[in-house]
Amino acid sequence: MSQAMTVTRSPLSAWLAGVLLLAGIAGLGAAYGARLAALLVVGGAFGVALYHAAFGFTGAWRVFITERRGRGLRAQMLMLALAVVLFFPALGAGTLFGNPVSGFVAPIGTSVLVGAFLFGLGMQLGSGCASGTLYTVGGGNARMLITLAFFVVGSLIGTAHFSWWQSLPAFQPVSLVDTLGAGGGIAVSLVLFALIAGITVVLEKRRHGRLETPPQPEARPGSRWLRGPWPLLGGGVALALLNFITLALAGRPWGVTSAFALWGAKGYQALGGDVGQWGYWQAPGHAEALAGSVWSHVTSVMDIGIILGAMVAASLAGRFAPNFRIPRRSALAAVLGGLLLGYGARLAFGCNIGAYFGGIVSGSLHGWLWLVAAFAGNMLGVRLRPWFFAPSSR
Distance CA 377, CA 370 (A): 10
Distance CA 261, CA 346 (A): 8
**Residue 34: which residues within 8 A CB-CB, separation 6 or more?**
none
Task: Specify the pTM.
Answer: 0.93
Q: How confident is the model at residue 321 (pLDDT cuts 50, 70, 90)?
A: confident
Cβ count near 11 (within 10 Å): 13
Neighbours of 273 (CB within 10 A): 12
Has residue 214 got a pLDDT over 60? yes
104 Cα distance to chain centroid:
14
394 vs 392: CA distance, rounded Å? 6
Count CB atoms within 10 A of the CB of residue 30: 10
pLDDT in tens, 57-86: 999 999 999 999 999 999 999 999 999 999
Return d(Cα 265, Cα 156) in angstroms, integer.
6
Q: What is the CA radius of gyration of the chain?
A: 20
Q: What distances in angstroms separate CA 242 from CA 120, 132, 249, 288, one per listed residue? A: 24, 16, 10, 26
How far is the C-alpha of 238 from the C-alpha of 342, rounded, in Å? 26
CA distances for 40 relative to 242, 249, 342, angstroms: 12, 11, 23
Nearest Cα residue to 256 out of 137, 163, 336, 82: 137
Tell me what pLDDT residue 394 has. 41
* Confidence band for 8, pLDDT divided at 50, 70 and 90: very low
Hey, which residues does 171 pair with through a beta bridge? Answer: 108
**DSSP type of residue 5:** H
Note the pLDDT tens digit of each residue in 368-380. 999 999 999 999 9
Q: What is the pLDDT of residue 4?
A: 36
pLDDT average, residue stretch 345-357 = 97
The dihedral through the CA atoms of 137, 143, 149, 150 has a sign that is negative
Task: Count CB neighbours of 164 within 10 A.
Answer: 10
Residue pair 106/359 in contact (Cβ under 8 Å)? The answer is yes
Distance of alpha carbon 370 from alpha carbon 376, whole angstroms = 10
User: Given pLDDT bands bounded at 50, 70 and 90, which one contains residue 322?
Assistant: confident
